[in-house]
Amino acid sequence: MSGFVGAQFRADDPFEGIAPGSAVAEYDIVIGPVVRYLRDVVTDRSVRLLANFIGTSHLGDESKPDAGDSDQVYDVLAAVRVPLQRRHEHHHVKQAAHLLLPTRAAALAPHLRTSEASLLSRAWGHLRRASPVGSGGLIDLRQCCGQLNLGADFLIGASE
Amino acid sequence: MTRYAITVLEYAASPKHPTSGVLYGRHNSGSMNLPFAYVLLRGRDTVALVDTGYDQSDFGGEIANTIGVTGWSPPSEVLGAVGIRPDDVQHVFLTHADFDHMGGLAYFPNAKFYIQKREIESWIWALSKGRRFRSLLGGINPTDVLKLVDLGMKNRLVVLDGASHDVLPNIDLLPAFDTHTAGSQYVVVRNGGSLEDRWVLTGDVVYTYENLHGGDRDDPCFVPPGLATGSQTNLILTAEEMLAGVGGDMLRLVPVHEEKLKDHFPSRLSDRGLRITDITTL
């Protein structure tokens, strides 16, 4: 997966209706790639966990989120100006980062004793509340699970 | 002979549920009240549950809101109305993984959960198919699958591969593959040696009695539920199998979305207005 800092914003990103230059718009633009990066992290790890659990699959894409981006996430979170309207969302971004990014979360330790599945489940919960402009609710594990190459149509008899 | 009291506990309802979601092909037929419930099994030393409901505070609650489910109550209140605490539940038989059946895993900290291997694998397969296949996933909360994995790692998950007889004394879990979902199962409670003592907890293979008679008791016709990711034909064939297992007595099948249970079995309303139906007592 590519680094979030270089992410390109598309015209269909959910910023419609927010005045350009406003504090909210600025926050959304800055934090959007962070949220997408965290989605990639939690998705990647969820997919690996599920693949290991069912034990009949392998990953079609062995790439991982760029480890160097973790520090950048913390840098952005520390630097971004959080408008009042986004405090709630920002709280959830920070919680998700704390759960998912071990390098700095290690200093806060308690989550390390949580199982991977439990941790990822909680991270999903935070991330779906963290999207700028409440863009649709669910963080889409479904979309990102497209990475899995299960070769498993037989599992539900689709090819029977 | 081990026997079980069977109680259907309503925990929410969809007051204006599209009839076409319950009865295949009944388009433009308006709406109906659809209770959401789980089933409590009580033996002399056993407390078991069939399905868990969902958690209003997580994504399951959002799914529920989008389809008009209202009046959700937590298991502490629903079970509390019959003198049971969620902590008391020792076993949970998961008929399938839809949010309203498997979304409440976390409410039962002392329970062991039973699900078909095929159900887990099929959902992970479906998750892997990408956005264009998301219509397959409308009924599940992806994080419930992660929670299932967590239970597996804690040795609290029993993954079944097909029919399992006597998972508890006189309780069988039987596959209903490729029906409502790919790996659905249903529960048979054998309270005695005869067919008259046998009960089938149908999961969503049968939503209501009308799925069994099609609205014409004199000339009954199977009409499968409208919502399924599997085969309508298999839904019908499994309903036939269930009926055969109880000597053809429709009232020995217990569909949890059936509002008319109260017309056939003793029932009452809890303080929160949720229906408690005693299918059989000890």
A54 touching B, CB under 8 A?
yes
The better pLDDT of the pair A7, B21 is held by B21
CA distance A101 to B165: 45
User: Confidence class of residue A132 from pLDDT cuts 50, 70 and 90?
Assistant: low
The two tokens of residue B205 are 């293979």
DSSP B275: E
Distance from CA of B29 to the nearest CA of A (A): 30
pLDDT for B72 equals: 97
| Signed CA dihedral, B194, B195, B201, B203: sign only | positive
User: Confidence class of residue A146 from pLDDT cuts 50, 70 and 90?
Assistant: very low
User: Confidence class of residue A51 from pLDDT cuts 50, 70 and 90?
Assistant: confident
Residues on chain B touching A118 (C-beta within 8 angstroms): 146-147, 150
pLDDT for A20 equals: 57
pLDDT over threshold 70, residue A8: no
CA distance B75 to B55: 9
Asked if B131 and A142 come within 8 Å (Cβ–Cβ), the reply is yes
Least confident among A137-146, B144-153, B183-192, B199-208: A137-146
The better pLDDT of the pair B203, B2 is held by B203
Q: What is the mean pLDDT of residues B253-258?
A: 97
Please tell me which of the candidates A54, A115, A138 has its beta carbon nearest to residue B59. A138
Please tell me which of the candidates A56, A143, A152 has its beta carbon nearest to residue B131. A143
pLDDT for A113 equals: 57
Asked if B146 and A153 come within 8 Å (Cβ–Cβ), the reply is no
CB within 8 Å of A124: residues ≥ 6 apart: A42, A46, A139, A141, B59, B142, B143, B146
Residues on chain A touching B143 (C-beta within 8 angstroms): 120-121, 124-125, 141
Q: How far apart, in Å, are the Cα atoms of A37 and each of A66, A123, A126, B178, B267?
A: 9, 13, 14, 37, 52
Asked if B146 and A121 come within 8 Å (Cβ–Cβ), the reply is yes
Residues on chain A touching B137 (C-beta within 8 angstroms): 142
pLDDT for B138 equals: 81
In which residue are the tokens 């919960």 written? A125
Domain span at residue B272 reads: 5-280
pLDDT for B125 equals: 79
pLDDT over threshold 80, residue A107: no
A59 touching B, CB under 8 A?
no
In which residue are the tokens 């979305």 written? B257
CA distance B281 to B41: 10
Going by C-alpha positions, the residue among B15, B103, B97, B109 that lies closest to residue B61 is B103
User: Confidence class of residue B169 from pLDDT cuts 50, 70 and 90?
Assistant: very high
User: Confidence class of residue B27 from pLDDT cuts 50, 70 and 90?
Assistant: very high
Asked if B146 and A149 come within 8 Å (Cβ–Cβ), the reply is no
DSSP A7: P
CA distance B58 to B141: 9
Residues on chain B touching A143 (C-beta within 8 angstroms): 130-131, 134
pLDDT for A69 equals: 72
Q: What is the mean pLDDT of residues A119-124?
A: 88
CA distance B162 to B164: 6
User: Confidence class of residue B258 from pLDDT cuts 50, 70 and 90?
Assistant: very high
Contact between B196 and B245 (Cβ < 8 Å)? no
**Closest chain A residue by Cα to residue B142:** A141
The better pLDDT of the pair A61, B8 is held by B8
What is the full DSSP assignment across A55-74? Answer: -S-EES------TTHHHHHH
State pLDDT tens for residues B39-76: 999 999 999 999 999 999 988 898 899 899 999 999 99
CATH number reported for the structural domain that contains residue B98 in this entry: 3.60.15.10
Q: What mean pLDDT, rounded, does chain B reach?
A: 93
Chain A 102-141, CB below 8 Å of chain B: which residues? 115, 117-118, 120-121, 124-125, 128, 137-138, 140-141
Please tell me which of the candidates B62, B129, B142 has its beta carbon nearest to residue A141. B142
Give the percent of chain A with pLDDT over 70.
Answer: 52
pLDDT over threshold 70, residue A145: no
B123 touching A, CB under 8 A?
no
pLDDT for A160 equals: 33
**Number of other residues whose CB lies within 10 A of the CB of residue B206:** 31
Give the percent of chain B with pLDDT over 90.
Answer: 79
pLDDT for A104 equals: 58
Least confident among A104-118, B89-103, B119-133, B245-259: A104-118
Residues on chain A touching B147 (C-beta within 8 angstroms): 117-118, 121
Widest pairwise Cα distance in chain A: 57
DSSP B217: S
Q: What is the mean pLDDT of residues B198-207?
A: 97
Contact between B179 and B238 (Cβ < 8 Å)? yes
